[in-house]
């Protein structure tokens, strides 16, 4: 507990980390309160391709939907997919990492599966799976989880492998502590900071991957994310030569960039806390 | 011994990739005949004779047992026969190999540039650690690395292609251009390469930069650096002879592994710039539902990435003898 408090203190002193966390909170609150923040229903149709005015802050798209409302609702889809995937993938990765680090034979088999997953190219496989599976948010999440857990497993396992041989674990065992007790009570708290870092990294990866898939037109068309807004903007014939890109293409793109940057900042700060060698006096 | 296990592992991975490619369409609900006979615009089934259906099935070999279909599929791949592209109405293998050179050109140039630049900037950053220069570099690299490649590509088109009008915004060469000399052709290709390659370089530079920075920070804390300083070596000599060389080792293996990442990034960059590489081909195959082409492109991309990983593994064995005995 004291360790956690100390880490929290170091985190608050880290300007980069606090900035990232602040930005993330704004986006999460926007996603939660989207129905109160959006002026219109994102599916409601007005005059198409209207430039921004007092009625429509960011104008309307090619089928007349209010872009500002669309943008606010899209934050729900993008963040929901990213965080749900990260929670599930990190959970599976942590559990399998714990057990495969602690039980050697079990670990051997799990690691062969992990090796295979890590050797296969992630993005092309995700694309081809998305093509052949019926598109829905949950199918996307399943695909992302499928390729998200192995890296966490590997990282957690290697940490468990070194923790397992520590003298205090040996003495626990001598005193008759059960495996589950040692894993839950002594190993899990020690790897927990690493789990948080993995969660952040995975969320960043999924935001990018989901935006990419949706940009290629492989997302769920019934629930528009930022990536899918960019897809429709890119498909619009005069997007590059007229001025519409300023209110149609720029906002969703910048949202993706800012969320990823916030996650990178948080992850970077967490890594510096975990690895005191990297900790700097300034910043 | 170590080599042998590695090679076996890679052959296994190639088999898995091929098997996924074989299994996926067959695992999906529905019958290829239904998707052939359903009118995509109305969703109404076209009435088709059972005999004709049977004929189509046997033409594509779908009436054979699954094991026989699999061996046929493997044989076809060995013969470089990847099927027939519906959209291009040409053999898939031919369509892909024609496009491959552009992807290799784009990915190759970008990899070379971003690695050198990333390693250099990472070393500078670590050297100036905690100073203003380091912080500035760090934040800029992390920020530019947060741009999805397709978004940065679109911004580049608007800024450099339309507003400033200094670079072409699509293709790899000027259409219908007659070159007066090889140099002219080279210039035209280079001119078209600059924007896509810059996009790839900028969106992937954070990888080698952060890695080199961390690696250097680790090395700079070592005792032999203190010794070097105590000997009275200049800062530059310490950096050149002691720090950079040791910090580079963990980076080498990443170079080839990141090739896979670069080819994935190329899918987006090529799509936005309409650059005629294999990534654009994959996008076209998705939008035209050209499944044979899609599967062929997937297979080739996968094989390239696996090959890159293999080369990385072997290079690392050669560079760091500790791995061999470990």
Q: What is the pLDDT of residues A43-81, one digit of tens each?
A: 877 777 778 887 887 888 778 788 888 899 999 999 999
Is residue B259 scored above 80 in pLDDT?
A: no
End-to-end CA gap in chain A: 26
Distance in angstroms (rounded) separating the CA atoms of residues B144 and B205: 9
Instruction: With cut-offs at 50, 70 and 90, classify the pLDDT of residue A277.
Output: low
Token pair for A283: 């910043």
Token pair for B155: 């911004």
Is residue B84 scored above 50 in pLDDT?
A: yes
User: Of A121-130, B130-139, B206-215, B258-267, which gets the smallest average pLDDT?
Assistant: B258-267
Token pair for A39: 């002026």
A-chain CB neighbours of B273 within 8 Å are none
Phi, psi of A48 (to 5 degrees): -70, 155
- What pLDDT is stored for residue A145 in this prediction? 94
- What pLDDT is stored for residue A281 in this prediction? 39
- What pLDDT is stored for residue B289 in this prediction? 78
8 Å CB contact between A225 and A211: yes
Radius of gyration of chain B (CA): 25
Highest-pLDDT range among A170-174, B12-16, B73-77, B198-202 = B198-202
Pick among A111, A114, A116, A119 to test the B interface (most B CBs inside 10 A): A119
Inter-chain residue contact B28 with A256, CB threshold 8 Å = no
Residue A105 touches chain B, beta carbons under 8 Å: no
8 Å CB contact between B277 and B266: yes
Is residue B72 scored above 70 in pLDDT?
A: yes
Chain B nearest-CA residue for A240: B158
B149-156 vs B182-204: helix axis angle to the nearest 10? 130
Mean pLDDT of the region B37-66: 67
HSE-CB for B200 with a 13 A CA cutoff: 36
Token pair for A249: 């293409």
- Mean pLDDT score of chain B: 81
A2 in helix, strand or coil? helix
| Complex prediction ipTM | 0.87
Is residue B98 scored above 70 in pLDDT?
A: yes
Mean pLDDT of the region B179-205: 86
Is residue B54 scored above 80 in pLDDT?
A: no
Q: Quote the percentage of chain A above a pLDDT of 70.
A: 92
| Inter-chain CB pairs, A–B, below 8 Å | 123
Is residue A280 scored above 50 in pLDDT?
A: no
Shortest alpha-carbon distance between residue B182 and chain A (Å): 32
User: Of A14-28, A200-214, B101-115, B215-229, which gets the smallest average pLDDT?
Assistant: B215-229
User: Of A262-266, B216-220, B274-278, which gets the smallest average pLDDT?
Assistant: B216-220
A20 in helix, strand or coil? helix
Which spans in chain B are helix H? 2-27, 32-37, 50-59, 66-78, 92-127, 132-145, 149-156, 182-204, 206-220, 223-230, 235-237, 244-273, 278-287, 291-319, 321-325
Mean pLDDT of the region A108-120: 86
Measuring CA to CA, how many Å separate B252 from each of B28, B245, B246? 41, 11, 11
Residues pairing with A45 in the sheet: A65
Residue A11 vs residue B134, higher pLDDT: B134
Mean pLDDT of the region A179-199: 88
Element (H, E) at B91: strand B90-91
8 Å CB contact between A58 and A243: no
Measure CB to CB from residue B264 to each of A124, A245, A249 and give the nearest one.
Answer: A124
Token pair for B45: 């089934």
Residue A113 touches chain B, beta carbons under 8 Å: no
Measure CB to CB from residue B268 to each of A122, A215, A253 and give the nearest one.
Answer: A215
Instruction: With cut-offs at 50, 70 and 90, classify the pLDDT of residue B28.
Output: low
Distance in angstroms (rounded) separating the CA atoms of residues A271 and A278: 8
Distance in angstroms (rounded) separating the CA atoms of residues A230 and A226: 6
Measure CB to CB from residue B286 to each of A115, A211, A216 and give the nearest one.
Answer: A216
Mean pLDDT of the region B217-246: 84
Token pair for A57: 């802050």
Mean pLDDT of the region B44-62: 70
Rounded to an integer, what is the distance from CA B49 to the centroid of its chain?
Answer: 45
DSSP string of A167-236? HHHHHHHHTT--HHHHIIIIIHHHHHHHHHHHHHHHHHHHHHHHHHHHHTT-S-TTS--HHHHHHHHHHS
Provide the 10 A C-beta neighbour count for residue A264.
21
Distance in angstroms (rounded) separating the CA atoms of residues B25 and B280: 22
A64: left (phi over 0), alpha (psi -120 to 50) or beta: left
- What pLDDT is stored for residue B326 in this prediction? 40
HSE-CB for B252 with a 13 A CA cutoff: 16
Beta strands per DSSP E along A13-92:
none
Residue A52 touches chain B, beta carbons under 8 Å: no
Residue A279 touches chain B, beta carbons under 8 Å: no
């Amino acid at each position: 507990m004291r360790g956690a408090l100390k880490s929290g203190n170091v985190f608050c002193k880290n300007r980069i980390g606090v900035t990232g966390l602040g930005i993330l909170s704004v986006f999460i609150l926007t996603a939660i309160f989207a129905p109160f923040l959006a002026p219109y229903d994102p599916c409601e149709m007005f005059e198409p391709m209207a430039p921004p005015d007092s009625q429509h802050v960011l104008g309307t798209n090619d089928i007349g939907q209010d872009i500002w409302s669309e943008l606010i609702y899209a934050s729900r889809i993008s963040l929901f997919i990213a965080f749900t995937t990260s929670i599930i993938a990190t959970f599976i990765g942590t559990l399998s990492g714990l057990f495969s680090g602690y039980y050697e034979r079990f670990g051997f088999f799990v690691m062969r599966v992990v090796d295979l997953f890590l050797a296969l190219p992630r993005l092309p496989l995700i694309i081809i799976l998305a093509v052949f599976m019926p598109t829905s948010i949950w199918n996307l999440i399943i695909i992302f989880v499928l390729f998200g857990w192995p890296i966490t497993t590997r990282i957690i396992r290697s940490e468990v492998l070194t923790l397992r041989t520590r003298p205090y674990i040996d003495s626990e065992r001598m005193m008759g502590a059960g495996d589950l007790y040692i894993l839950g009570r002594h190993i899990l708290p020690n790897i927990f900071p690493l789990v948080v870092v993995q969660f952040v990294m995975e969320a960043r990866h999924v935001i990018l991957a989901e935006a990419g898939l949706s940009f290629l037109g492989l997302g769920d068309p019934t629930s528009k994310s930022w990536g899918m807004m960019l897809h429709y903007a890119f498909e619009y014939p005069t997007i590059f030569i007229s001025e519409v890109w300023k209110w149609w293409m720029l906002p969703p793109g910048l949202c993706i960039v800012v969320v990823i940057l916030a996650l990178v900042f948080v992850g970077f700060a967490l890594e510096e806390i975990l690895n005191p060698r990297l900790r700097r006096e300034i910043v | 011994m170590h080599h042998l296990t590695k090679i076996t592992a890679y052959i296994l991975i190639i088999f898995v990739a091929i098997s996924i490619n074989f299994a996926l369409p067959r695992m999906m609900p529905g019958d290829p005949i239904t998707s052939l006979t359903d009118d995509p615009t109305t969703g109404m089934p076209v009435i088709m004779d059972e005999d004709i259906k049977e004929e189509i099935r046997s033409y594509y070999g779908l009436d054979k047992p699954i094991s026989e279909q699999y061996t046929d599929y493997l044989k076809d791949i060995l013969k470089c026969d990847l099927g027939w592209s519906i959209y291009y109405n040409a053999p898939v293998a031919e369509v892909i190999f024609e496009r491959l050179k552009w992807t290799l050109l784009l990915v190759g140039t970008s990899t070379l540039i971003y690695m050198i630049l990333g390693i250099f900037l990472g070393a500078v950053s670590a050297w100036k650690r905690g100073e203003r220069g380091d912080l500035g570099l760090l934040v800029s690299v992390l920020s530019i690395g947060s741009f999805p490649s397709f978004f940065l590509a679109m911004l580049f088109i608007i800024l450099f292609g339309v507003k400033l009008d200094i670079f072409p915004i699509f293709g790899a060469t000027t259409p219908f251009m007659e070159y007066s000399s090889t140099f002219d052709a080279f210039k035209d290709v280079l001119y078209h390469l600059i924007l896509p390659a810059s996009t790839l370089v900028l969106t992937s530079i954070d990888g080698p930069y952060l890695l080199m920075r961390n690696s250097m920070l680790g090395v700079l804390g070592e005792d032999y650096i203190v010794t070097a300083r105590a000997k009275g070596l200049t800062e530059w000599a310490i950096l050149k002879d002691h720090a950079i060389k040791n910090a580079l080792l963990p980076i080498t293996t990443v170079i080839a592994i990141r090739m896979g990442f670069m080819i994935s990034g190329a899918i987006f960059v090529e799509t936005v710039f309409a650059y005629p590489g294999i990534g654009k081909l994959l996008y076209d195959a998705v939008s035209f539902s050209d499944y044979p082409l899609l599967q062929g492109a997937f297979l080739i991309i996968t094989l390239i990435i696996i090959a890159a990983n293999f080369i990385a593994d072997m290079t690392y064995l050669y560079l760091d003898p500790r791995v061999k005995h470990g």
